[in-house]
């Protein structure tokens, strides 16, 4: 059984981009952390990042199919700035009926006002915010915990 860990725009810059906010861990490090956690849970990670909204939408559609086919429990998703802008990604998750745990490295609620609203949260199974990159580990554990309910 697999789990998708999906990252949106600018997360390829993790480690060098605003380290005072996002830390110095790279996305490659996050991938390794996710693989380790997933292995403990008996899951296989598919790890993807894109800066392009359309690509992310296509992957969400694809992954809805994986879940429906019983091959995946869903996705951990850090949508980056698309969180605050994208109705298209909201609709993609809803349309694909993809179980998603929304994950943010920083506590978006103690940052700028424009980061306080999420288009993704209303279609997320759960949300992890403000625990740094450890949030991906928490999100994987949370999704795994939800999985039987999310599948029925
Ligand atoms: C982020 C928070 C977003 O507001 C921001 O645009 C990001 C990263 C986070 O992980 O804290 O790109 O999703």
Q: Could you give the C-alpha distances from 86 to 17, 65, 69, 123, 130, in angstroms and in order?
A: 22, 22, 27, 12, 21
pLDDT digits (tens, 9 = 90+) for 98-151: 999 999 999 999 999 999 999 999 999 999 999 999 999 999 999 999 987 544
Mean of the per-residue pLDDT values for the chain? 96
Q: What atom in ligand 1 is closest to the CA of residue 22?
A: 11
Residue 18's CB: how many other CB atoms inside 10 A?
Answer: 11
Residue with tokens 């349309």: 95
Task: Give the integer Cα–Cα distance in Å for 135 and 119.
Answer: 19
User: From the CA of 70, how far away is ligand 1's center (Å)?
Assistant: 30
Q: What atom in ligand 1 is closest to the CA of residue 106?
A: 11
- Catalogue all structural domains in the chain, each as residue range(s) with its CATH number: 2-151 (3.40.50.9100)
User: From the CA of 6, how far away is ligand 1's center (Å)?
Assistant: 13
Answer yes or no: is pLDDT of 152 > 70. Answer: no
Task: Give the integer Cα–Cα distance in Å for 25 and 47.
Answer: 16
pLDDT for the residue numbered 60 = 98
Among residues 131, 122, 127, 140, the alpha carbon closest in space to that of 34 is found at 140
Among residues 133, 127, 148, the alpha carbon closest in space to that of 23 is found at 133
Q: What atom in ligand 1 is closest to the CA of residue 79?
A: 13
Atom 12 of ligand 1: nearest residue by CA position: 80
- Residue of 19, 105, 117, 130 best suited for mutating to test ligand 1, as the one with most atoms within 8 Å of CB: 105
User: 67-105 burial by CB neighbour count: b if 16+ within 10 A, else e?
Assistant: beeeebbbbbbbbbebbbebeebbebbeebebbbbbbbb
User: From the CA of 104, how far away is ligand 1's center (Å)?
Assistant: 6
State the pTM of this model. 0.96
Contact 3, 74 (CB under 8 A): yes
Q: What is the ipTM of this complex?
A: 0.99
Please state the φ and ψ torsions of residue 74, each to the nearest 5 degrees.
135, -150
**DSSP character string of 27-40:** HHHHHHHHHHHHHH
The residues annotated with a catalytic role in the active site are 22, 104
């Amino acid at each position: 059984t697999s789990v998708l860990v999906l990252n949106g725009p600018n997360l390829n810059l993790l480690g060098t981009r605003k380290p005072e906010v996002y830390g110095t861990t790279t996305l490659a490090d996050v991938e390794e952390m996710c693989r380790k956690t997933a292995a403990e849970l008996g899951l296989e990670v598919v790890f993807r990042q894109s800066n392009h909204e359309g690509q992310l939408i296509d992957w969400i559609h694809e992954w809805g199919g994986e879940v429906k086919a019983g091959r995946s429990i869903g996705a951990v998703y850090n949508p980056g700035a698309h969180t605050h802008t994208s109705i298209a990604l909201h609709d993609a998750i809803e349309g694909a009926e993809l179980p998603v745990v929304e994950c943010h490295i920083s506590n978006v609620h103690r940052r700028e006002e424009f980061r306080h609203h999420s288009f993704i949260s209303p279609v997320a199974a759960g949300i992890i915010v403000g625990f740094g990159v450890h949030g991906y580990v928490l999100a994987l554990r949370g999704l795994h915990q939800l999985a039987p309910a999310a599948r029925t």
